[in-house]
Structure formats: C-alpha cells, structure tokens
Amino acid sequence: MVAIANVVGSGSLSLELDIEQLGADLDVPYTKYDLKNYHGLYIRLEEDGPLISVYRNGKYLISYCPSLNTLEKIRSKTSSVPLNLEQMLI
C-alpha cells in the first residue's frame, strides 16, 4: 500500500520581493531568512504547519503538507496574509 506523506505545491506572486523585509514584517509564528545558508525565506503560518519557501523573484514552494486539501488551505491563506507590498517590492 502506498501512503501520501508529503504534498508539495508551487506558485508565483509575479513580482520581485525584498524577502528580508518581508520576513521582518510578517506576523506569523515562524520566519527564517539566513542568506549565508539559503537564499529563500522560510515561513510557517501555523506552529509545525507546512513550510513555505519564498524567493526574491516571487516564486514560492509549499511543502510538508499531509494532503492536497491542506496544500490548498495553505495556498489560500498565503494569498490573504496582509502585506505592505510597497515596502517589499524591489
């Protein structure tokens, strides 16, 4: 029997971002940006929830989702997180 252990999705915000500023401005349980170790910003919208990796070019990955339903919920929440985009645009 095969079991789904990790569903991954990707998308694009279609704009370039200052991800360091984005990480500082987000009011979520977890963000991490360490350019020395990785060029993306890690975000978790909920404790121990799926991981969102956001890149400067506006592309993102959502990983560690236990189901397609969870992936869609996180993608929907991602698009509704309030941002001051003027500060984060490059």
The span from the CA of 43 to the CA of 74, in Å, is 11
Task: Look up the domain containing 18 and give its range.
Answer: 7-88
In a domain, 27, yes or no: yes
CATH of the domain at 32: 3.30.310.10
Per cent of the chain over pLDDT 70 is 87
In a domain, 30, yes or no: yes
Which residue in 27, 37, 8, 31 sits closest to 19, CA to CA? 31
| Global pTM exceeds 0.75 | yes
Per-residue pLDDT of the chain (90 residues; tens, 9 = 90+): 888 889 999 988 888 999 999 999 888 899 999 989 999 999 998 899 999 999 999 899 999 999 999 999 888 877 665 555 444 444
Tell me the HSE value of 11 on the side-chain side, using a 13 A CA sphere: 12
In a domain, 14, yes or no: yes
What's the total number of domains in the chain?
Answer: 1
In a domain, 18, yes or no: yes
Residue that the structure tokens 């698009």 belong to = 79
In a domain, 29, yes or no: yes
In a domain, 63, yes or no: yes
